[in-house]
């Protein structure tokens, strides 16, 4: 689980695992979190999100901007709310979740969260390797394919995972510094690339576009939220556990909402502008190549470097969070070793999908999007619980035996776990699962309803999970108490 000491300087190894951080080491401030969330969302892959709003939902650009603000920045406000628990309990999100679900009941949400993190990390890693292969194609003047150049592919996968390990392995303090300064570099490159992309926009079509109905905007908000902040919600407390006790809750919420919201709103808006009268980006199976083809040939190299950097910054934070989640599952190793375990998993997954499997993005994105249902149910319960809970017992968070205050009945808090299970079942009832319209794996009985048809089942999941947990009384008895090791 890691020792109780922690190197806090950048470049020093963070040896703390999931055990709560002593108050004397909690000197963080919200601006640090602003840069962390900004960096994690600066990837130019935000462009396809905006493209879908205009190309497939028919939104006018002003509508796309509103949808981006409410969907992307709004969903990251939820990440900020969960960050409040990190400042209170000084532990990672899924470790604090033991207090809600019980030390055994929490295994379900933790396992789902870890699978989701590893899934998106595999997406980042394979995409980054494809970026480097594309860069080689430009530099060498001939196409370089993954399966025709397996050694080169392995090298590129290795480069990306080693760069990720160098930051995520060292831990919190290093992550704060790298994410901040790398944002300046890759942010500037994004502005440069974005400027050239603006030259391809059909401005007359932008200003003449008719607005879509309100229902399309509502659907768009759901799509943006599910594709941005909801996927990061279970990492909210992982970074905020080092925040100073005096930091206000509103500032934690703002650091996430504005930190992630600013780059996402700009990128989503640009993606929408590029797609007015042109569906190529929204329909592309490989958005990296689709965006590259919009640029002058000489701009392709800085563009690909920008794309690689954005993917790396996102992966840094995701792998760090995954390491803490792995420890919460009960793996008895140091934090850095848990990070290495996760790195090995995504390295193996990337090799399979790039060198062995016939296809990747369709099936895999479907799989990790599927995990959004149980994650959203967890978020609903966690947020409702946070309203009433003002302390976490540090000793009991780490005690997984029947003597823990969070053992409840058989290690499970049945009100939380029951609400989670019911919400998942209902959420999947509104869900259609498949790689294409012609390859449907599963269709819930309510998938043809308005909510299901427009992909809004996750909202039902969120409301049912939190509402049922509150009705069952799960959040009504969380009064502060004088508990040894508690953090208020």
pLDDT of residue 365: 61
pLDDT of residue 19: 94
- Could you tell me the two tokens for 5? 């000491």
In three-state form (DSSP H/G/I as H, E/B as E, the rest C), the secondary structure along the chain is CCCCCCCCCCCCCCCCCCCCCCHHHCCECHHHHHHHHHHHCCCHHHHHHHHHHHHCCCCCHHHHHHHHHHHHHHHHHHHHHHHHHHHHHCCCHHHHCHHHHCCCCCHHHHHHHHHHHHHHHHHHHHHHHHHHHHHHHHHHCCCCCCCCCHHHHHHHHHHHHHHHHHHHCCCHHHHHHHHHHHHHHHHHHHHHHHHHHHCCCCHHHHHHCCCCCHHHHHHHHHHHHHHCHHHHHHHHHHHHCCECCCCCHHHHHHHHHHHHHHHHHHHHHHHHHHCCCCCHHHHCCCHHHHHHCCCCHHHHHHHHHHHHHHHHHHHHHHHHHHHHHHHHCCCCCCHHHHHHHHHHHHHHHHHHHHHHCCCCHHHHHHHHHHCHHHHHHHHHHHHHHHHHCCCEEHHHHHCCCCCCCCCCECCECHHHHHHHHHHHHHHHHCCEEEEECCEEEEECCCCCCHHHHCCCHHHHHHHHHHHHHHHCCCCCCCCCCCCCCEEC
Q: Do residues 235 and 10 lie in contact, with contact meaning Cβ atoms separated by under 8 Å?
A: no
pLDDT of residue 437: 61
pLDDT, one tens digit for every residue, the chain (488 residues)? 443 344 467 788 898 999 999 999 999 999 999 999 999 999 877 888 888 888 878 899 999 999 999 999 999 999 999 999 999 999 999 999 999 999 999 999 999 999 989 988 998 999 899 899 989 988 887 778 888 889 999 999 999 999 999 999 999 999 999 999 998 998 898 899 999 899 889 999 999 989 999 888 988 888 888 778 988 999 999 999 999 999 999 999 999 999 999 999 999 999 999 988 777 777 776 777 788 888 887 888 888 999 999 999 999 999 999 999 999 998 889 999 999 999 999 999 999 888 887 666 566 667 766 888 999 999 999 999 999 898 899 999 999 999 999 999 999 999 999 999 999 999 999 988 766 666 777 788 998 888 887 777 888 999 999 999 999 988 665 544 433 343 43
CA diameter of the chain? 69
pLDDT of residue 225: 87
Q: Do residues 317 and 325 lie in contact, with contact meaning Cβ atoms separated by under 8 Å?
A: no
pLDDT of residue 429: 93
- Could you tell me the two tokens for 247? 């930091």
Q: Do residues 324 and 335 lie in contact, with contact meaning Cβ atoms separated by under 8 Å?
A: yes
pLDDT of residue 481: 41
pLDDT of residue 443: 84
pLDDT of residue 4: 39
Closest by Cα among 65, 431, 411, 115 to 261: 65
In this prediction the pTM is: 0.90
């Amino acid at each position: 689980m890691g020792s109780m000491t922690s190197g806090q300087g950048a470049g020093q190894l963070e040896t703390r695992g999931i055990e709560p951080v002593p108050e004397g080491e909690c000197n963080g401030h919200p601006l640090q979190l602003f840069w962390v969330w900004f960096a994690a969302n600066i990837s130019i892959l935000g462009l396809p999100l905006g493209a879908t709003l205009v190309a497939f939902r028919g939104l006018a650009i002003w509508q796309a901007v509103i949808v981006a603000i409410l969907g992307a920045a709004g969903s990251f406000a939820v990440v900020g709310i969960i960050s409040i628990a990190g400042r209170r309990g000084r532990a990672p999100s899924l470790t604090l979740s033991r207090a809600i679900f019980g030390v055994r009941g929490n295994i379900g949400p933790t396992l789902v969260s870890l699978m989701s993190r590893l899934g998106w990390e595999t997406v980042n890693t394979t995409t980054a390797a494809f970026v480097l292969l594309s860069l080689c194609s430009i530099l060498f003047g001939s196409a370089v394919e993954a399966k025709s150049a397996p050694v080169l592919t392995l090298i590129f996968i290795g480069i990306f995972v080693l760069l990720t390990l160098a930051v995520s392995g060292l831990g919190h303090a290093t992550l704060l510094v790298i994410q901040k300064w790398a944002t300046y570099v890759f942010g500037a490159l994004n502005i440069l690339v974005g400027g050239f992309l603006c030259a391809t926009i059909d401005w007359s079509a932008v200003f003449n576009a008719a607005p879509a109905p309100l229902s399309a905007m509502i659907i768009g908000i759901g799509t943006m939220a599910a594709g941005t902040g909801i996927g990061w919600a279970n990492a909210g407390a992982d970074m905020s556990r080092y925040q100073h006790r005096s930091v206000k809750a509103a500032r934690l919420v703002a650091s996430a909402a504005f930190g992630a919201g600013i780059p996402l709103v700009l990128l989503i808006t640009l993606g929408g502008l590029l797609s007015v009268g042109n569906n190529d980006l929204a329909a592309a199976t490989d958005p990296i190549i689709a965006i590259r083809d919009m640029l002058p040939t000489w701009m392709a190299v800085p563009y690909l470097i920008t794309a690689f950097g954005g993917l790396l910054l996102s992966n840094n934070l995701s792998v760090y969070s995954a390491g803490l989640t792995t420890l919460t599952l009960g793996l008895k190793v140091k934090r850095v070793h848990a990070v290495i375990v996760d790195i090995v998993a995504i390295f193996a997954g990337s090799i399979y999908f790039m060198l062995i499997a016939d296809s990747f993005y369709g099936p895999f994105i479907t799989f990790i999007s599927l995990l959004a249902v149980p994650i959203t149910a967890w978020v609903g319960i966690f947020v409702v619980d946070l309203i009433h809970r003002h302390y976490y017992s540090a000793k009991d968070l780490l005690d997984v035996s029947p003597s823990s205050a969070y053992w409840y009945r058989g290690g499970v808090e049945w009100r939380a776990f029951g609400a989670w299970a019911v919400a998942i079942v209902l959420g999947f009832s509104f869900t259609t699962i498949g790689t294409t319209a012609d390859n449907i794996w599963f269709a819930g009985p309510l998938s043809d309803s308005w909510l299901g048809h427009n992909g809004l089942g996750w909202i039902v999941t969120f409301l049912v999970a939190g509402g049922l947990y509150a009705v069952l009384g799960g959040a009504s008895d969380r009064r502060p108490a004088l508990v040894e090791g508690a953090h208020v």
